[in-house]
Amino acid sequence: MTTTLIRNADVYAPEPLGRHDLLLGGGKVLWIGTDAPDLPAAFGAQVMDLAGRRLVPGLIDGHVHVTGGGGEAGFASRVPAPTLSRYTRSGVTTVVGLLGTDDVARSTRELVAHVNALREEGLSAWGYAGGYHLPPATVTGSVRADLAFIDCLIGVGELAISDHRSSQPTLDELLRIASDAHVAGLMTGKAGLLHLHLGDGPRGLDLVRRALDQSELPPRVFNPTHVNRRKALFDEAIELARRGCSIDITAFPVDEGEDAWSAADALVRYLDSGAPRDRVTISSDAGGCLPCFDAQGRVCSMDVGHSGALVDTLRELLARGIALQDALPAFTSNVAGLLRLPGKGSIAVGADADLVALDATGAVTDVFAGGQLHLRDGAVLRRGTFESQDT
């Protein structure tokens, strides 16, 4: 068992705790205090002095194309799967994988395999059954059975609405899928969410509002993402958060003058709105294609999402004067609470030893995932199985 004593950390758990020492062992935080004793040499503890750097929970990226995304512009536009250190260099220690537009050539079986591979490499990883389309892509033929019998699958998504690439689901179809996710969550203790991809169509979140108005399903089941892609859509999303939904902001690039909010702008607007602070999360769409379409629905340009957008957004928020303890929950504790991931999203005795040290600018310097050191002073110590040293 690897044991590490971290000294002189300025801990944000995500609430500020001040200067503390921490003892890690067995993948957990074993002790937190203000004056750690010298441990006997026979104990074999690795000692690491952070010299006052801020120590925060490992970031949770709740929307990642772990198999790679894309495919809207032909097979050559399929995005490769991100490698392990692409996450850890960005301070991400937990990912939730999903399928997008391509839920045919890419399958739920492949998704589960990639999730398990990341677990073997030291990352915490889960996934969603399904993809953009109906009927949802599954392993067993049923999303309820997938969630009941496949450990790593915790919900359904990303089902597309208000998008020309979607299956154009009706209200009844949406409710049936949401019900399956909810009941499976009740059976298993998993999140049981319906994670909804939002396109830029004019219907916006109307289908979700109707689902809340016309069914008995709890609002938390409906979890729309990409809600900052249009400014009016974001206003709709804030109102859904007031009704009990959790909304997910995407950290994608936004050009000046574009009818969208950057992730930093969106979070500031959300916090200023007075909506419940625990009902907003930020994800990266890592590994996914970020396409632009012409009037005929053809791809005219594309970019690729990356987990580094999370820490970039966090650094922008800090540079704008947002307190770290106000910004952090959207990347950590809010995500863990929504997805029902015990031991994640906070720094506490008994919690998983997923920890990230930040320098004065908010850049990632050191990363522990499951108590194992992946990054030290910015240098990658652990790489994925097929990563080259130049990756």
| Alpha helix stretches (DSSP H) within 128-199 | 143-149, 171-188
Instruction: Give yes or no: 151 in active site.
Output: no
Torsion of the alpha carbons at 160, 163, 167 and 171, rounded to the nearest 10? 70
What's the rounded Cα separation, in Å, for the pair 177 and 69? 23
Range 372-380 contact pairs with CB under 8 angstroms and sequence separation of 24 or more: 372/2, 372/27, 372/122, 373/4, 373/46, 373/48, 374/85, 374/88, 374/122, 375/88, 375/89, 380/85, 380/88, 380/89
Could you tell me which residues are beta bridge partners of residue 283? Answer: 250
Task: Map tokens 């969550």 to a residue.
Answer: 185
Q: Are 283 and 62 in contact (CB under 8 A)?
A: yes
Which region holds residue 34: left if phi is over 0, alpha if psi is between -120 and 50, else beta?
A: alpha
| CA atoms lying within 13 Å on the CB side of residue 184 | 28
Q: Taking a C-beta distance cutoff of 8 angstroms, is the pair 46, 5 a contact?
A: yes
Q: Going by DSSP bridges, is the β-strand pair 222-225/280-283 parallel, antiparallel, or unpaired?
A: unpaired
Assess contact for 26 and 359: CB atoms under 8 A: no
Q: Tell me the C-alpha to C-alpha distance, in Å, between residue 37 and each of 6, 91, 318.
A: 12, 29, 34
Written as six digits, the tokens of 154 are 């915790």
Nearest by Cα to 31 from 336, 342, 369, 351: 351
Quickly tell me which residue has 């109906």 as its tokens.
134
In Å, how far are 136, 183, 219, 222 from 180, measured between CA atoms? 11, 5, 14, 12
Per annotation, catalytic residue among 21, 248, 285, 312: 285
Q: Determine the Cα–Cα distance for residues 257 and 276; give it in Å rounded to an integer.
A: 29
Nearest-CA neighbor of 60 among 369, 362, 304? Answer: 369
Residues carrying an active site annotation: 285
